[in-house]
């Protein structure tokens, strides 16, 4: 039994969910997303809730049950509230700024790094050391944040680099004489 799959996804006010065959379309105040279900799960809308059930008792159907319930929840949450990832930059001379449709990062290399901002995602830099990424697609927002972090991951000795705001860096002791 899937504990996550058993829970119904509540559809909030202001979100319209249409279910045609195996394709779910959610429209909210922020945008519109679609999700195509696999044949191993059966989605249905009852009493303002989205329910996902396995089509049979096979191992694959039980695996997909919880997965697609979570994906449907992410779609509905995305069009109603959106998702935000926040990054922090630590290091002398390290900074970020938005120039036009690019995020310009100076991370201690001899050149600046230009990361293009894709459609449907908003990147803001409140200060030079903080980056906020907002969008309706959770997977897209997370992958953009991971890509920006990969340009200069935090190192364990001085903590310099790009890290998630809530990430804890385990610090190491330096060389001893």
Q: Is residue 8 helix, strand or coil?
A: coil
Asked if 129 and 89 count as a contact pair (C-beta separation under 8 A), the reply is yes
Q: Is residue 106 helix, strand or coil?
A: strand
Phi, psi of 86, rounded to the nearest 5 degrees? -120, 135
**pLDDT recorded at residue 6:** 87
DSSP 37: P
Instruction: Walk along the chain (177 residues) in steps of 10 and give the mean pLDDT of each run.
Output: 84 92 92 93 91 91 92 94 95 94 94 94 95 95 96 94 93 87
**pLDDT recorded at residue 174:** 86
Indicate the pTM of the whole model: 0.89
CA 90, CA 107: separation in Å to the nearest integer?
Answer: 9
**Which helix (DSSP H) or strand (DSSP E) does residue 20 occupy?**
strand 16-20
CA 145, CA 89: separation in Å to the nearest integer?
Answer: 12
H-type helices in 37-159, by residue range?
59-80, 138-150
Domains of the chain: 3-80 (3.90.930.12), 83-164 (3.90.930.12)
- Radius of gyration from C-alpha coordinates of the chain: 21
**pLDDT recorded at residue 1:** 66
Q: Which residues pair with 26 in a beta bridge?
A: 17, 33
CA 104, CA 92: separation in Å to the nearest integer?
Answer: 16
């Amino acid at each position: 039994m899937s504990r996550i799959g058993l829970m119904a996804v509540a559809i909030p006010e202001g979100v319209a969910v249409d279910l045609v065959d195996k394709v779910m379309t959610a429209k909210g105040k922020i945008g519109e997303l679609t999700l195509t279900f696999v044949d191993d799960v059966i989605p249905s809308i009852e009493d303002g809730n989205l329910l996902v059930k396995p089509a049979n008792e096979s191992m694959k159907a039980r695996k997909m049950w919880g997965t697609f319930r979570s994906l449907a929840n992410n779609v509905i949450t995305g069009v109603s509230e959106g998702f935000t990832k926040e990054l922090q930059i630590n290091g002398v001379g390290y900074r970020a700024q938005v120039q036009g449709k690019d995020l310009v990062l100076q991370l201690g290399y001899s050149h600046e790094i230009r990361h293009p901002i894709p459609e449907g995602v908003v990147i803001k830099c409140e200060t030079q050391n903080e980056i906020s990424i907002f969008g309706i697609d959770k997977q897209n927002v997370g992958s953009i944040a991971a890509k920006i972090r990969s340009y200069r991951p935090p190192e364990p000795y001085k903590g310099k680099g790009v890290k998630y705001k809530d990430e804890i860096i385990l610090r190491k002791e330096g060389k001893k004489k």
